[in-house]
């Protein structure tokens, strides 16, 4: 069972690392809460506030 626990732990760490990297490189940001995402939205998908901005590279 230890092998499966270790594998599960590594998968969860990989998912967390991938999510962090994707968020850091996302081209749009919510002005209200600071959430970052890949697509432009009229409202923030995290907090629902209006006012998302495109970030410059």
What are 5-53's pLDDT values in tens digits?
Answer: 999 999 999 998 888 887 777 888 888 998 888 888 888 888 999 878 8
- pLDDT value for 2: 92
CA separation for the pair 46, 15 (Å, rounded) = 19
Confidence of residue 1 (pLDDT cuts 50, 70, 90): low
Give the bridge partners for 30, in sequence order.
Answer: 52
Rounded to 5 degrees, φ, ψ at 38 are -85, -25
Question: Quick check: 30 and 44 in contact, CB under 8 A?
Answer: yes
| pTM, full prediction | 0.56
pLDDT given for residue 4 in this prediction: 93
**C-alpha to C-alpha distance for 51 and 1, rounded to whole angstroms:** 48
Taking residue 54's Cβ as centre, other Cβ atoms within 10 Å add up to 8
């Amino acid at each position: 069972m230890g092998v499966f626990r270790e594998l599960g732990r590594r998968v969860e760490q990989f998912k967390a690392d991938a999510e962090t990297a994707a968020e850091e490189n996302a081209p749009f940001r919510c002005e209200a809460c600071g959430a970052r995402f890949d697509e432009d939205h009229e409202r923030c998908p995290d907090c629902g506030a209006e006012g998302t901005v495109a970030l410059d590279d």
